[in-house]
Structure formats: structure tokens, C-alpha cells
Structure 1
Amino acid sequence: MSIINPNEKNGRKENKTWPQYLAVLTALLSMFCSGIHFGWPSPSLPRIFSDEYPFNVTAEEASYITIIGPVGDVAGNILSSLLVDLIGRKWTILLIGAPQITSMTMIYLSTYSPALLYAARFIGGISEGACFTVLPIYICEVSEPKVRGLLGSSFSLILMFGILFVNIIGSYVTLYTAALIFLCCSVLFLVTFSQMPESPYYLLMKNRVEEARSSLQRLRAREDVDAELASLTSDVRRQMAEKGRFRDLLTIRSNRTATVVMVILRFLQQFSGVSSFTFYAQLLFKEATDAIPQHWAAILMMVIQAIFTLIAVLVVDVVGRKPMILTSIGGCCLSLVFNAVFFGVRDWSDVDVSSLTVLPLVGLIVFMVFFASGLGSAVNLLLGELFPAAVKAKAACIMNVVFSVSMVVSSKFYQYMADTYSLAIPFAFFALVQSVGFVFCFRLVPETMNKSLEQIQQELKGNREDKNRT
């Protein structure tokens, strides 16, 4: 039986939001599993270097085990961008489960050959890339404007929970036991999300109006969705009237603006050093501080990042996207400078800092607080908000290829500079990138809080007549 909401506000029946939360949270279980894949090197590399693993793996080989995951991301970005408009958002998201299960199975079997670790990381990267491409689209299309900020930002929160989970489990059980636990998470995702509705935007793109009506009725928990369906139909038709080619990302003014903004933000995310610090967290803390055990330092950093990501999720529709992003970039820059100075003094001067080894831990925790408050939460939300339906999948593909390539380059840069010279160099370089990025973002990033997807498009085009549209 369908649930009809009897409450009214200003003469209008109010939608219930819990079905939107349910659809998004079950979809985000795939992001939780990708967080496990993303954070896997931190607790796993020390075990691979230990006697627990039956093969000898060098630091150079381990660096490629780490960064081959983001190479898989590129393949996942491209493949999912082709599928998302062909078979739909829901089925593309469900397909993410296959490489996740395959990846963890290969890690479990890697006692037979270390080559399986490379294959597992690449295949897991395919699912991660697909998550970054498809999930922001699905979340924004099933959510109403009043909850879109909260639900869209939850993408980053669930990713952090996955990273925290793998650091905790991976620090206390073997590689093989952990792989089986993580595999069960992917099975749970497939079982639960398979019951969720398809995006009404996608169904309208395919002229499946009655299915779109049914999807809206499930997502809004009410029967009378005619007004919203008519509005969405009009919006989708107008957006689909624009050509959906890759070159339209640059030839159409609104798309060009959105593309420039998202390329800059994706680049800034990775060249903050966040992926490097996550991949090499336990090895980093082993070198940087002896204040607490390395696995506890890594877990503490992830816990704090998860807490502040949660706070960011709760306030993003109050504070706004742009203020949070600017504050995040500024804070990341200052904390990176702090650690660069510490490591520079430690490595290139005669000053004894052995009694101050807690400072790098403090600096990294402050960095994670600021990263979580904007770059780690609001940016992923903007990806789903700034592009029209006709090019959204193609835009997500391009932006996440930028994200993945930047991840590979920044992580290898960090590893090489830290191993060859000093940790001061990557920290200083990342700080420089953030300082330049702050200026660009101050001038270019638009505010999208409490605006419908159609209103955002009109404002990117320079039209303000839809300002009050909901």
C-alpha cells in the first residue's frame, strides 16, 4: 500500500524524506566498500612488508600496488559514464559490486602470487571510479533540494567510514581474514540496493513517464506527484534539447563554467596530499612520530576526519558550499605549511626536535579537519549539481579522470620525494598548490545551496529569472 502524507504546508502536501534517505544510503554502501579499497594500503602495506606475507615486496613495488588502484579508477570512470545513460543509474551502481567482490577474492588468494595484489587493486579501482562517477548523479536526481545538500555530502562521509573501517579491521586481523570481511560488505550492498528505485530523471530521459511517476511516488512516499513530475519533465526536456557531446562541456557557456570549476576542485582535492596521507598513513606516522603507535595514529586521524565530515554534512545546507570550500582550502594550506616547516627543520638543520614528534600528528589531524569541512565533502556534491542531464555522465567521467590521474601523480610524487629527499618537499608543494587554488575558487566557485538543479543551470547561463523556483 502506498503511503500518503496528510501533512500540508502553505496549502501544499509535504513529501516524506525517509525513502530518499533509504535509497541514497543503500546506494552509498558501494561507496563504503570503495572506501575500504581506498584505505586498504594503510594497514596492509606494513603486513606485506612483514613476515606475515609469504613473498618479499620492495618499497618500490609496494608503491605501484598502491597507485595502480587509481589507474583502475580511470577505467571505471570511462566505463560507467558509458553505461549510466545506457542501462540506467541503478543498474550501473549495482554492477559496481562485481569488481568489488572480485578484488577482495584476489587479495584473499594472493598467497599464491603477489601479482594478484596488483590485479586486485586495479579491479577494485574500477569500482571506485564508477562510484565517483555515478553516485553523485543518482543522489542529486533522487533528492529534493531541501535534503540534497545533506544526502550529497553523505557521499564523502560514507567514504570516510569505509577508510576508517579498513584501518581498524586491517590493523588487527590478517590480510586474508580482512578480505573475507570486506567481501561480505559488498554482498550486503547488492542485496539492499537492488530493492531501490531508478532515478526519475533517467526514466524521463528515456520517455518512461509512468515508471518515473512510480519512482517519484516511492521516493516522496505519496501518491500525488503530478506537479513535481510535470516540472521534472519540463526540466529534462529542456536539458536534453542541448546536445550531449563531450565538446559541449566547453562550447556551451554554462557547461564551460562548471567544467573549469570542477577541474580546479578535483585537482585541488588530490594535490592537497590527502590520498598520499591516506595510502601511506601508518608508514608516514612510523617515520614522523613516536608519540603513539602508528596504527593508532592512523585510526585517530581517520576518526577525526569522519567526525568533521559528519559535521560538514549537517551544516552544508546552512553555511553553503562556497564558504565551506574556501575555509577548507585555507586551513589545509596553513596546516601543510606547519608540517613542511617541521620536517624542514628536522631534516635540514641542527635543531633537535626529538621532543616535539607529536607536532606532525597534530598538523595532520588539523589538516584532516579542514579537508573534511569542504574539499572532502562539498566538492563531490557540486559534481552532481553543476551539470545538466544531457552531459552529466560525460562531465562526471572527465572530472573523475582528472581526479584519478591527479591521485596517481600526487601519490607517486609524495612517495618519491619523501623517500629520496624529505617529507618537507611534498608538504610544501601541496601547500603552494592550495594557496594558488584559493584565489581561483574565490573567484569562480558558485553557490548552489537551496537551489533546484534547473535554477542552477539558469544561473550558470547568466539568467536570474528562475531565482525563486523550487
Structure 2
Amino acid sequence: MADWKPQNNGFYGQTQTPIPALDPPQKPKRNKYAFACAILASMTSILLGYDIGVMSGAGPFIQEDLNISDPQLEILMGILNVYSLLGSAAAGRTSDWVGRRYTIVLASAIFFVGAILMGFATSYAFLMVGRFVAGVGVGYALMIAPVYTAEVSPAASRGFLVSFPEVFINAGILLGYVSNYAFSKLPLHLGWRLMLGVGAIPSVFLALGPRWLVLQGRLGDAKRVLDKTSDSKEEAQLRLADIKEAAGIPEECNDDVVQVSKRSHGEDVWKELFLHPTPTVKHILLTGVGIHFFQQTSGIDAVVLYGPKIFEKAGITDKNFKLLATVAVGLVKTVFILVATFLLDRIGRRPLLLTSVAGMIVSLASLGVSLSIIDHSDKKLIWAVALAITSVLAYVATFSIGMGPITWVYSSEIFPLRLRAQGTSVGVAVNRVMSGIISMTFLSLYKAITIGGAFFLFMGVAMVGWVFFYTLLPETQGKTLEEMQVLFGTFFRWRSTMRELEKNNNGVNSTGDGNDNKVLLNYHLKKKIEMNIL
């Protein structure tokens, strides 16, 4: 933290030039430039979504054509998540060096090569090589999309914009399901290869942020980008001042290009995250990693990847009906994620997340019950089959309306600037590890404890996750990225800390001069320093 001294106004920082009072609050218009940047960045997430969706239907065809066992199929389905660890681990450092946009291009190029290799695979080993290359590209895409989008988004619409990666993941899943159905009528040796190879097409289009510009010392470029991506000139000034403070650049510096320390390229960040973290960083890291952990361990990839197997267990044996049922899953996921994008900045992260997880718990319980009844019945029970299908659709709907998008929104907005790229990559790494474990063990799991038992297990994990979210995750709606640090550091006592800060916040507002906008933002950090939290 910079060594600030109180000046004139009695708060931290240099003497402030009064910022004109804002007009009475009005709902800001949607920032078209930030919207366009978020769309372009988030489209990289289509790569992961398409792979998940297409492997769900292509897996049985691959197993039949290459004559592989169930354990080999499990590994093939889930290994991409493990391979993506390499990409997500490297993406943080890469994006700090070459920039967010070039990292997006790199992610697309790597996935393109992987998709081509998978499409031309002639053996299981060849196919695994393609999965490795595609996995690295997916890792890059998963890490960079929410980071870039969070950095160009104004606070008022950040939830809406940062949920876009999850929207495109779901769109990719739906495209994968549709691809499965479209190519399922082709000869066995050709159908699954086209399903996988078509994934190269989105990456071609994808190959054709301001905070990173500040970290490189390019203040002139950053000012221009912030002017375009902020809802007002005043917000742009506040965002730039807060970013300069986090980057260690004097607030009064207005040069277009300045010299910054090497630390801003990512050096020593890992030490600050893991070896010498402050209470604030510990709390942020715990919540950022925890939300990714529970998103995957509550079973979403088992449902999405093994949908045809689940529907088969539920009593649907016709191949076309199974593929159409998975298309319905993809459609429901896509519709409800679109609903979620409009609710995030209206309802808030916490209420939507807690409601979503509660719905998942109920859906998993009913799915476990229905599958257990079907599994132990000698005849086909239509009502149980209908309940199982309804439960699957309800589960993906409740997941998509909260748990799915909020995981990416929340983890990308809570880390301070200097730790954001690497901190987000840690969360993505945990996400991919747990996704890989679930997807590579689901078939073995349900054979060991029955398919109903597997979903009861996911239900138990979701219940633990609900308690974790309720007790440890503060609300972040409407906060600037640099102001976010004030919400963390007291762990289970964050509610009392927030009440105290809101009380003091009201005290600042009571001055009534209408020119405290910049002072108000800095006041939060000042109080936290006094409380020895930061």
C-alpha cells in the first residue's frame, strides 16, 4: 500500500480537485463499448462449452469405433480438464506480459490446432494428443475471459457483463449437442470425427484491457479505454485513480507513459498469495477457490458430460431420443443463463447464489430418488422416468441461474489488481482439477454406489457449499474492483465489518458538500488500514 499522508481534506491521498456533483441517480445506459469488449472476450468460452457438449454425444461413438473400455472413455472425457491446468497456470503470467487481448488470440489458436488433431485422430493415443493441445487452449480461455471482461466493465453492469463467459459456455454446450444430433446419422468412423473437428470453426473467428495498460505504464491508452468503458467521466476518473494507486503510480502523475516496477509483470505475486498473504488476501483466496470447488463438486459435469448415460439409466433406450434429451438440457441451460445475466446486477450475487444452490439441492434429491426407484424396479415406471428427466432439467436450470455464472463473476472481481490474473488462474485450476476428477470417475462412482447414490453424494456436497457461501461470501454487487478489498479480511465477521463501514460511509456523506465522490471511495481503504485488516 502506498504511503499516503492526510492532506487538506483530512483523508488519504493528495489534495483532491473537487469533482462536480453528480446529477440525481439515474439508471445508466448500457455501455456499448464495454458490451462489445465483453462479447469478444467471452466468446473464447465457447471453446470449452462446445468440447463438453460434443464429447457427451461423441463418447459412445468413439467407444464403439475405437473399441475402448469404460475407464478409457472416462479418461478421454475428463482429461481435457486436467490438461487445461497447464493453460490456466500459464495464462496469468502470459496475460501480464503480452496483454489480455493477445492471450485471447493465443487461446483460440491453440484450441484450433487441438480440434484439427482430434478430428483427424486415427487411434486412442492420437486422440489423446489432440485432447492435450485443446485442453491447453481451453485453460487459457477460461482464465482470460472473466478477467478481461471484469476489467473493462463499469461497476453498475459488471455482473451482467462478466456472466457472459458462462453464457457462451452454455451456448457452446448447446452447439455441441446439436452437432451430435446432426452428425449421428453419418457412418460411425466419420460422424464423431466431424463432431470434434467442427470445433475448430469458432476458434478461427475468435482469433480474428485498461488495467493491464496501466500496469505497463501506458496511462494515455488506459485513460482512453476507461473513458469508453465507464458510465460517466467521473467514474472513469475514479477508476483510473484507484488503478494507479494499486499499481504504485503517483496519483498526480498524468504522463502518457510512465516507468513501473517489475512487480507489475507478475513477479512475487505467488509469494503474496501463498507465503505472506494478508488476512484480506487469505479471505479472498479462500472464497475465490471455494466457489470454484463447489461449482464442480456439486456434479454439473457429470450431468452435462454423461447426459445420455443418465437418460439411459432413467429408461430412455432409443439413441435419437437420448440425443434429443441432451439437446433439451443444453437449451434449458442456455435460456436460464440468459435470465441470470439480467438478474446479477439487480438482485445481487448472494441472494441469487444461495437460491440457486438451494434449488440444486432439491433437484439432486429428486433425481437421486427417481433413479434409485427406477434402478430397483422390475418394470418401467413412467412417472419415475418423467421425474428423473424433470429433475435433470431443473438441476441445470437452477445451476445456470446462479451457481454457473456467479462463480466466474465473483472470482474475477474480488482479487486486487496486482493479484488478479494469477489469483483467478488459481481458481480456474481448482475448477479444472475438480471437473477432471468428477468427469473421469463418474462411471466408476455410480457403478460402486449406484447412480442414485452418486447424485445423493452430489447433493451432500451442495449442502456444504450452501453453508460455505452463506457464512463466508460478502455481497459485491455495485462495488468497484479497487473498493472490493474492503469487504474481505474478517472472514466470518464480514457482516459486522460491513455494517461498521456503512455507518462510517454515511458519516462521510453527511458533509453535504456534494464533492466527496473520490474521497468516499478512498475512505473505505483508510478505515481498513486503521482497523489493521489490510
**Does the TM-score normalized on the shorter chain lie above 0.5?**
yes
Q: Counterpart of 2:279?
A: 253
1:67 and 2:78 are equivalent in the alignment: yes
Match of residue 31 from structure 1: 45
Is the 8 Å Cα contact of residues 266 and 403 (structure 1) preserved in structure 2? yes
Aligned to 2:199: 182
Residue 392 of structure 1 pairs with residue 403 of structure 2: no
Matches within 5 A, 1:391-470: 391-461=419-489, 464=501, 469=521
Q: What's the Cα RMSD here?
A: 2.8
Q: Is the 8 A contact 1:458 1:466 kept in 2?
A: no
- Give 1:3's aligned residue: none
**2:141 alignment counterpart:** 131
Task: Return the offset for 1:122.
Answer: 2.0
Deviations 1:240-261 (A, max 9, x none): 8999532423521111111111
The offset of 1:405, in angstroms, is 1.2
Change (3 A) 1:227 1:385: closer
What is the alpha-carbon distance in structure 2 between the residues aligned to residue 141 and residue 27 of structure 1? Answer: 11
C-alpha contact (below 8 Å) 2:373/2:384 kept by paired residues: no
1:456, 1:396 → 2: CA distance? Answer: 15
- Contact 1:107–1:175 (8 Å) recurs in 2: no
Larger radius of gyration between Structure 1 and Structure 2: 2
Among 163, 167, 178, the residue aligned to 1:153: 163
Aligned equivalent of 1:195: none
Equivalence for 1:99: 110
- Distance in 2, Cα, partners of 1:221 & 1:351: 61
- Larger CA deviation: 213-222 vs 87-96: 213-222
Change (3 A) 1:119 1:227: same
Instruction: Show CA shifts across 1:111-166 (max 9, x none).
Output: x2232221222221112222221211111111111111100111111110000001
The correspondence of residues 49-448 of structure 1 with structure 2, limited to 5 A, is 49-50=63-64, 53=65, 55-110=66-121, 112-173=122-183, 174-191=191-208, 199-219=209-229, 228-237=239-248, 244-249=268-273, 251-290=277-316, 293-348=321-376, 353=381, 356-448=384-476
Residue identity matched to 1:436:
V
Give the counterpart letter for 1:434 in structure 2: A
Alignment gaps of 5+ in structure 2: 1-20, 184-190, 251-262, 490-496, 507-519, 523-534
In 2, the alpha carbon distance for the partners of 1:395 and 1:466 equals 29
CA contact (8 A) 1:289 1:361 kept: no
Unmatched segments (≥5 aa) in structure 1: 1-7, 192-198
Q: How many Å apart are 1:231 and its aligned residue?
A: 4.2
**Deviation of 1:275 (Å):** 0.7
Q: 1:441 to 1:11 in 2, by over 3 A?
A: closer
Q: In the TM superposition, what whole-angstrom CA distance separates every residue of 1:401-455 from its partner, at most 9, and x where no partner exists?
A: 2111111222233210223442012101101111122112111111011111122
Report the TM-score, using the length of structure 2 for normalisation.
0.78
TM-score by length of 1: 0.89
The alpha-carbon deviation at position 9 of structure 1 amounts to 6.7
Query: Cα 1:419–1:354, aligned 2, differ >3 Å: closer, same or farther?
Result: farther
How far has the Cα of 1:24 moved from its partner? Answer: 1.2
**2:54–2:179 Cα contact (<8 Å) kept:** no
Identity of aligned residues (%): 22
For the Cα contact (< 8 Å) 2:54–2:195, is it kept in 1? Answer: no
Cα contact 2:154–2:229 (8 A) shared by 1: no
Whole-angstrom distance in 1 between the partners of 2:29 and 2:353: 30
Residue-by-residue CA offset, 1:173-219 (whole Å, 9 max, x unaligned): 2233334432121111111xxxxxxx110111121112212333454
Moved >4 Å (runs of 4+)? 11-16, 220-228, 238-244, 348-352, 465-468
Distance in 1 between the 2:29 and 2:356 partners?
Answer: 33
Change (3 A) 1:347 1:97: same
Letter of the aligned partner of 1:177 in structure 2? Answer: L
Q: Distance in 1 between matches of 2:285 and 2:132?
A: 27
Q: Is the 8 A contact 2:288 2:427 kept in 1?
A: yes
**Residues 109 and 204 of structure 2 are in contact (CA less than 8 Å); yes or no, is this contact kept in structure 1?**
no
Map of 2:187 onto structure 1: none
In the alignment, is the contact (CA less than 8 A) between 1:455 and 1:466 conserved in 2?
Answer: no
